């Protein structure tokens, strides 16, 4: 029995799957932000009661955590010491010298303190060249003294990040050994281990971020392991990585920077599962929450991977699921510019507190959720909740926006939704149109608290159908965790002109990476049948600054041939992404092997009982505003629908953890897995 655990800002969601009976159980408990492990332990007890099992029956716990993310976002990480090459102590302070656009952007720039302060940064006499040759030998005496002084100054972790260490890590390793001699308990991260790639700032900040979150992650892991043991769980704990893969708790304690986007990973993985189950090859994941919306692309059942991301103001060069996030969500505040009278929505958010006006928690500024209330999309009483929404309050707040724009409250509410949708559309376009993908070839999976409210309108804008609303959007992330694979990446930077480079060296490097990957899979106890290794090469035209990742087949690595195909693929991909190809030398930047250990799929049980007659599931009829007029709109109880039911739009489809808006001229079918599939009437039967 596998247990998926997703800790969110408000709730901790759990999903338990019993492989033998094919049954799944879900549970939801309030999150405990001061110590997430408490909520998790409560949830485990709850779900075991529901399923009638003992905690010791659980064979694996798969856990997505925001501990690392929150530490960076809230500036509450550890005090990190940093050893760099002498002369480059200001690498983090200078932060690539970047200031924002447009002209005079610096006037309003806010720059957070570096994750390792200048006072805790020390230069070490040594220097490596770009070719990995020693220019200045490491001064060990000076290094010992500096290490002693820094480690005794009260730092909680130490990062070593020297110039060109990706090309030769001898000095970094020696420093690590020197630290271990004097301070065996000091937590140390080494840049050539965390990110063996060139670009000194990116490598340093990523490695420092690892240390910044590491003591917190280690404390958290030991607490949660202890609490799980206390409630009787005897199995292993695995942590979800930012790229949707799994790592052991021990690995997470070593490299917590790989969990900075652990949170959104589950939903994307679940979208990939949905793609495989429904046969919809191309899907957009649309996860709209309270303050932001995350979108990503799944093609052929596989999510896209990105190798750089941002956590707050800081870049992190780690593999992540390629999720684009924008500051528009249910809590985004609408306001009218004093000077231009233009309507703006977000990125300012009312969050959970004070929240939208309608939630009666003290919010006074109109939000996207209030606009949904005004238009009748959000029912005045939420299912499963005791809360009665303040419809009149929401309407008054939205009416103020209307007054300054000369619009009725309904049209102002519609405007707020249109602007919010446009912001999200920008993010969806970025991951499709801007990458040469046609959104009309895609469907869309809607989840997150507000996703199903907006998905139909988004699909109409982009032309991406069907909209899939999974049976349990609230536990979608936890479901994704259950099917996550073991995963790790092994990379080597080799900045060389491809034409000059002896091909032998490339294949030798791949062979070496393959050996590392295989060793890791064995170490993680992955059965041979479940093992997989894939390869890729990051290429660019000589002197470009951005690389394109091209897959290399396992056969090519095995037979040590096939570079011509890789080059051909590079030219074609560059043209698809950027509209041009050049007749210029190609440059190799990074070789990569990704090791995976697959896990068995979750067999979901189809919905039982219920009715295929949508009319029989109507709970209520209320008015809702679409296309400039009010419609009498049925509210439908989703739990009463059986597979095969068809609902004509407009309709509001309600369930425990979300509300789906079905627009006029659309219909929704319930498929055999319980998904709602929304199509435009013109397209369908």
Partner 1 sequence: MTTSVDPITLDLIENALLNARYEMDSVVVRIALSPVIREQHDEFPMICNEKGQMIVGQFGSYIPAIVEQFDSDINEGDVFVWNDPYACKGSISHNNDWCVMMPIFHEGNHVGFSSIFGHMVDVGGKVPGSMPSDARTIWEEGLRVPPVKVYENGVLNEGVLAIMLNNTRTPDMNRADLMALIAGCRVAAQRVGEICSRFGRDAYMTACDQLLDRTRDAMRVLINNYISEEPVTFTDYVDDDGVGNGPFKMHLSIYRRGDVAVIDWTGTDDQAEGPINFHIHEGLCKLFFGVYMIMAFDPKIMFNEGFYDLFEIVLPEGSLLNPKFPAALSNRLNTHTRFFDCQAGALGQKAPHLAMAAGYGTSPHFIFTGHDKNGKYFQLMELLFGGVPGRPLGDGFDGHAWWPLFSATPLEYIENYYPVLVESYKPVRDSGGAGMHRGGAGIEKIYRLLEPGSISIHDDREVVPPWGINGGLHGGTSSKWLLRAGETTPERIASKLDNLAVEAGDKVIFITAGSGGWGDPLERKLASVQKDVRADLVSVEQAKSDYGVIFDDTLTVDEAATSALRESKRAERGEAAAFDFGFIPGVTEAAE
419 binds partner 1 (CB under 8 A): yes
77 binds partner 1 (CB under 8 A): no
Q: Which of 110, 386, 500, 502 binds partner 1 (CB under 8 A)?
A: 110
CB within 8 Å of 132: residues ≥ 6 apart: 164, 167, 168
Strands 157-161 and 187-190: parallel
Residues numbered 456 to 495 that lie near partner 1 (CB under 8 A) are 495
How many residues bind to partner 1 according to rule CB under 8 A?
A: 74
Q: Smaller CB distance to partner 1: residue 98 or 630?
A: 98
d(CA 421, CA 68): 30
Minimal distance, residue 505 CB to partner 1, in Å: 17
Identify the sign of the CA torsion 645, 649, 651, 657. Answer: positive
Which residue stretch of 22-30, 38-46, 578-586, 618-626 sits at the interface with partner 1 (rule: CB under 8 A)? 578-586
163 binds partner 1 (CB under 8 A): yes
Minimal distance, residue 5 CB to partner 1, in Å: 37
Q: Smaller CB distance to partner 1: residue 339 or 685?
A: 339
Q: Which one, of 151, 280, 260, lies nearest residue 214 by Cα? A: 260
Q: Are 614 and 636 in contact (CB under 8 A)?
A: yes
Q: Smaller CB distance to partner 1: residue 381 or 505?
A: 505
Radius of gyration over every alpha carbon of the chain, rounded to an integer in angstroms? 26
Minimal distance, residue 438 CB to partner 1, in Å: 12
Minimal distance, residue 31 CB to partner 1, in Å: 34
Q: Smaller CB distance to partner 1: residue 22 or 436?
A: 436
329 binds partner 1 (CB under 8 A): no
122 binds partner 1 (CB under 8 A): no
Which residue stretch of 216-224, 227-235, 352-360, 541-549 sits at the interface with partner 1 (rule: CB under 8 A)? 541-549
Which residue stretch of 28-36, 423-431, 549-557, 604-612 sits at the interface with partner 1 (rule: CB under 8 A)? 423-431
Residues numbered 333 to 392 that lie near partner 1 (CB under 8 A) are 337-344
Minimal distance, residue 414 CB to partner 1, in Å: 7
Q: Which of 35, 57, 156, 411 binds partner 1 (CB under 8 A)?
A: 411
Helix (H) or strand (E) holding 460, with range, is helix 451-462
Minimal distance, residue 481 CB to partner 1, in Å: 33
In the chain the first and final C-alpha atoms are separated, in Å, by 41
Residue 7: beta bridge partners? 12
Which residue stretch of 149-157, 371-379, 536-544, 642-650 sits at the interface with partner 1 (rule: CB under 8 A)? 536-544
17 binds partner 1 (CB under 8 A): no
d(CA 351, CA 453): 18
The conformation of residue 118, written as its DSSP 8-state character, comes to G
133 binds partner 1 (CB under 8 A): no
b/e map 370-403, b = 16+ CB within 10 Å: bbbbbbbbbbeebbeeeeebbbebbbbbbbbbbe
Q: Which phi and psi angles does 511 have, rounded to 5°?
A: -60, -40
629 binds partner 1 (CB under 8 A): no
75 binds partner 1 (CB under 8 A): no
d(CA 576, CA 677): 31
Minimal distance, residue 210 CB to partner 1, in Å: 19
Q: Which phi and psi angles does 46 have, rounded to 5°?
A: -60, -45
Q: Smaller CB distance to partner 1: residue 582 or 630?
A: 582
Q: What is the DSSP secondary-structure string of 187-255?
A: EEEEHHHH--SS-HHHHHHHHHHHHHHHHHHHHHHHHHHHHHHHTT--SEEEEE-TTS-EEEHHHHHH-
d(CA 186, CA 164): 24
Which residue stretch of 26-34, 182-190, 362-370, 538-546 sits at the interface with partner 1 (rule: CB under 8 A)? 538-546
């Amino acid at each position: 029995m596998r247990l998926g655990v997703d800790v969110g800002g408000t709730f901790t969601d759990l999903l338990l799957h019993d492989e033998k009976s094919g049954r799944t159980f879900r549970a939801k408990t309030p999150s405990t932000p001061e110590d997430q492990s408490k909520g998790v332990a409560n949830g485990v007890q709850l779900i075991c009661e529901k399923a009638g099992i003992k905690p010791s029956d659980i064979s694996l716990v798969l856990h997505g955590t925001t501990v690392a993310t929150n530490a960076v976002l809230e500036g509450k990480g550890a005090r990190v010491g940093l050893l760099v090459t002498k002369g480059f102590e200001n690498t983090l302070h200078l932060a690539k010298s970047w200031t924002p656009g447009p002209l005079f952007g610096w006037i309003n720039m806010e720059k957070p303190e570096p994750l390792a302060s200048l006072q805790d940064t020390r230069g070490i006499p040594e220097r490596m060249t770009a070719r990995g040759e020693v220019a200045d030998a490491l001064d060990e005496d000076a290094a010992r003294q500096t290490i002693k002084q820094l480690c005794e100054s009260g730092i909680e972790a130490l990062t070593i990040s020297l110039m060109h260490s990706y090309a030769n890590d001898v000095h970094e390793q020696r420093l690590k050994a020197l630290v271990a001699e004097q301070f065996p308990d000091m937590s140390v991260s080494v840049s050539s281990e965390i990110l063996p790639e060139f670009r000194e700032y990116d490598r340093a900040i990523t490695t420092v971020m690892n240390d910044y979150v590491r003591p917190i992650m280690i404390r958290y892991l030991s607490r949660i392991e202890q609490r799980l043991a206390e409630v009787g769980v005897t199995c292993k704990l695995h942590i979800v990585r930012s790229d949707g893969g799994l790592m052991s708790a021990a690995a997470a304690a070593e490299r917590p920077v790989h969990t900075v986007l652990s949170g959104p990973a589950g939903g994307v993985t679940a979208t990939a599962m949905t793609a495989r189950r429904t046969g919809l090859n191309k899907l957009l994941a649309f996860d709209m929450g309270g303050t932001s919306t995350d979108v990503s692309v799944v093609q052929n059942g596989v999510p896209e991977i990105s190798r750089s991301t941002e956590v707050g103001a800081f870049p992190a060069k780690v593999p992540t699921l390629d999720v684009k996030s924008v500051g528009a969500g249910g809590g985004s505040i609408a306001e009218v510019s004093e000077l231009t009278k233009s309507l703006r929505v977000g990125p300012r958010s009312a969050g959970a507190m004070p929240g939208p006006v309608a939630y009666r928690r003290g919010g006074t500024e109109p939000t996207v959720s209030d606009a949904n209330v005004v238009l009748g999309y959000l029912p005045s009483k939420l299912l499963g909740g005791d809360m009665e929404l303040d419809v009149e309050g929401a309407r008054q707040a939205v009416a103020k926006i209307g007054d300054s724009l000369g619009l009725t409250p309904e049209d102002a509410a519609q405007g707020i939704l249109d602007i919010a949708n446009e912001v999200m559309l920008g993010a969806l376009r970025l991951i499709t149109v801007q990458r040469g993908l046609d959104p009309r070839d895609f469907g869309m999976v809607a989840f997150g608290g507000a996703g199903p409210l907006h998905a139909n309108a988004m699909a109409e804008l982009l032309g991406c159908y069907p909209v899939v609303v999974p049976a349990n959007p609230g536990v979608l992330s936890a479901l994704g965790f259950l099917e996550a694979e073991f995963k790790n990446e092994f990379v080597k930077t080799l900045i060389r002109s491809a034409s000059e480079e002896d091909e032998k060296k490339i294949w030798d490097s791949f062979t070496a990476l393959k050996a590392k990957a295989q060793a890791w899979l064995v170490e993680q106890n992955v059965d041979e049948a479940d093992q997989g290794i894939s390869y890729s090469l990051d290429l660019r035209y000589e002197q470009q600054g951005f690389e394109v990742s091209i897959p290399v087949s396992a056969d090519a690595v095995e037979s040590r041939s096939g570079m011509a195909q890789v080059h051909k693929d590079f030219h074609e991909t560059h043209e698809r992404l950027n509209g041009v190809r050049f007749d210029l030398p190609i440059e190799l930047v990074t070789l990569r092997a990704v090791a995976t250990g697959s896990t068995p799929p979750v067999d979901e049980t189809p919905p039982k009982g219920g009715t295929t007659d949508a009319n029989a599931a109507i709970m209520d009829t209320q008015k809702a505003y679409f296309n400039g007029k009010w419609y009498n709109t049925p509210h439908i109880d989703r739990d009463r629908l059986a597979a095969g039911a068809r609902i004509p739009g407009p309709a509001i489809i309600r369930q425990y953890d979300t509300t789906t808006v079905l627009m006029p001229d659309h219909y929704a079918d319930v498929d055999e897995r319980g998904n709602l599939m929304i199509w435009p009437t013109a397209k369908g039967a």
